[in-house]
């Protein structure tokens, strides 16, 4: 910066007023995003401090009130329902990750890991893929059945009421239950597809290809470049799917009912979903179907502003039970219980029948292979 004094302007000099510059589209979008953030904060503080009032969404803050809300037609084909779910694999017989003694992290000693989470660390996987694929063999999709919760979500779809199911599960049970790719946001990825880990290749492989490799105890390698092939589940050190972020901006402002099942909303990324949707679903309904050792597990005053039992409560409902029992109870109030139970029985019978056929085929193939190996080759005839 110069220390020279400023020269006085000549009277003849005309001051030039700069023309206002046109704002770029990026600038406009940034301002719009800023306005949305400010609206969100104003709404959040107003609601938290009790400076604003809201009309009650339900005639009664109970599961019965939720059922009447759904049957009233307010969850129509335009707005529909968002479902957030996590930990449903426990009811399906799949162990969770962190439960002391029974969780996956408590039973990984045989893999000689430096620390339990290393089995899902992308850098560790690239150097030592064997532990992950050994564990994957124990937990592989196809060995477990969808729960009542999964089929309740499928029923919502059949009734034309499901906008999207956001899941943190990686077991593909939502797909087994009948949901399709467009119905799902698999926030932590899925076993349904796999990709070569090489950025220069990224060849895709399907579920059957990966299953064959895992159950034959082969480390999956790319047919094209020989790099490792990894199921499309999100490891520590990897980004969440882009679709998770783009879809939530569209889905949450367009839902009338948010059903949260099996997650405390205290772990990211789902902890941020309700905060993101607070203003969007301000006048809509949130139903939590949950079971934990500590029933309200911090949801009161946490989880993005849910309010179940204060004097200001006007929309949120907590139903404390197992997720399956909660879905059955809601289905009963909606008049869907018999339909749901019949769907579960029919689909489980179908899965059992399919498993028997596959096992019979595998057994027959193994027997034929053993017989072929046990037959001594005929000696060559001398000419």
DSSP β-ladder status, 162-167 and 257-261 = unpaired
| Side-chain-side CA neighbours of residue 363 (13 Å) | 6
How would you class 62 by CB atoms within 10 Å of its CB: exposed for 0-12, middle for 13-18, buried for 19 or more?
A: middle
The verdict on whether residue 149 carries a ligand-binding annotation is no
* Cα 124 from Cα 102, distance rounded (Å): 24
Q: Are the C-beta atoms of residues 337 and 356 closer than 8 Å to each other?
A: no
Tokens 């009811």 found at:
91
Tokens 């005929």 found at:
378
DSSP state, 221?
A: B
The verdict on whether residue 170 carries a ligand-binding annotation is yes
Distance set, CA 309 to CA 53, 181, 230, 260, 318 (Å): 16, 37, 45, 17, 9
The verdict on whether residue 206 carries a ligand-binding annotation is no
Nearest residue to 44 via CA among 306, 259, 245: 306
Q: Are the C-beta atoms of residues 209 and 126 closer than 8 Å to each other?
A: no
* Cα 214 from Cα 234, distance rounded (Å): 18
How would you class 68 by CB atoms within 10 Å of its CB: exposed for 0-12, middle for 13-18, buried for 19 or more?
A: middle
The verdict on whether residue 239 carries a ligand-binding annotation is no
Could you count the other beta carbons within 10 Å of the beta carbon of residue 100? 7
283 given a catalytic annotation: no
Phi, psi dihedrals of residue 301, rounded to the nearest 5°: 85, 0
Tokens 């679903």 found at:
281
The verdict on whether residue 97 carries a ligand-binding annotation is yes
The verdict on whether residue 263 carries a ligand-binding annotation is yes
The verdict on whether residue 222 carries a ligand-binding annotation is yes
Catalytic residue among 150, 188, 284, 319: 188
The verdict on whether residue 75 carries a ligand-binding annotation is no
DSSP state, 295?
A: T
The verdict on whether residue 264 carries a ligand-binding annotation is yes
Distance set, CA 176 to CA 57, 145, 345 (Å): 34, 8, 14
What is the CA 84 to chain-centroid distance, rounded? 7
The verdict on whether residue 96 carries a ligand-binding annotation is yes
* Cα 109 from Cα 3, distance rounded (Å): 71
The pair of three-digit structure tokens given for residue 321, joined into one six-digit string: 């039970």
Annotated binding site: 96-98, 168-171, 196, 201, 222, 225, 263-264, 323
Annotated binding site for NAD(+): 96-98, 168-171, 263-264, 323
Catalytic residue positions, numbered = 188
Annotated binding site for Zn(2+): 196, 201, 222, 225
């Amino acid at each position: 910066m110069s220390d020279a004094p400023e020269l006085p302007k000549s009277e003849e000099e005309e001051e030039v007023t700069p023309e206002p510059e046109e704002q770029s589209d990026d600038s406009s979008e940034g301002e719009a995003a800023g306005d949305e953030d400010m609206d969100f904060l104003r709404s959040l503080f107003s609601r938290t401090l009790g400076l604003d009032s809201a009309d009650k969404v339900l005639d009664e803050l109970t599961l019965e009130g939720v059922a009447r809300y759904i049957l009233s037609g307010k969850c129509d084909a335009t707005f529909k329902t968002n479902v957030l779910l996590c930990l449903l694999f426990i009811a399906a017989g799949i162990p969770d990750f962190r439960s002391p003694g029974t969780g996956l992290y408590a039973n990984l000693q045989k893999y000689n890991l430096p620390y339990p989470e290393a089995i899902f660390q992308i850098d560790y996987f690239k150097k030592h893929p064997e532990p992950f694929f050994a564990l994957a063999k124990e937990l592989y999709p196809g060995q477990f059945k969808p729960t009542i919760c999964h089929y309740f979500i499928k029923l919502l779809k059949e009734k034309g009421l499901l906008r999207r199911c956001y899941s943190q599960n990686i077991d593909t049970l939502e797909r087994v239950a009948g949901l399709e790719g467009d119905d799902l946001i698999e926030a932590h990825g899925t076993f349904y597809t796999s990709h070569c880990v090489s950025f220069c290749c990224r060849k895709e492989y399907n579920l059957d290809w990966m299953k064959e490799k895992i159950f034959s105890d082969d480390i999956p390698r790319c047919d094209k470049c020989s790099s490792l092939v990894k199921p499309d589940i999100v490891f520590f050190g990897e980004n969440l799917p882009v679709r998770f972020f783009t879809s939530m901006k569209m889905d949450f402002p367009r839902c009338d009912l948010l059903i949260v099942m099996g997650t405390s909303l205290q772990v990211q990324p789902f902890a941020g979903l309700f905060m993101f949707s607070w203003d969007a679903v301000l006048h809509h309904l949130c139903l939590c179907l949950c079971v934990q050792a500590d029933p309200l597990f911090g949801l009161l005053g946490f989880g993005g502003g849910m309010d179940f039992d204060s004097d200001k409560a006007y929309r949120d409902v907590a139903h404390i039970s197992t997720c399956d029992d909660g879905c059955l109870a809601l289905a009963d109030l909606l008049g869907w219980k018999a339909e749901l139970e019949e769907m579960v029985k029919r689909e489980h019978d179908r899965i059992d029948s399919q498993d028997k056929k596959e096992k019979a085929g595998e057994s027959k193939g193994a027997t034929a292979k053993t017989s072929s190996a046990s037959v001594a080759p005929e000696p060559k005839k001398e000419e």
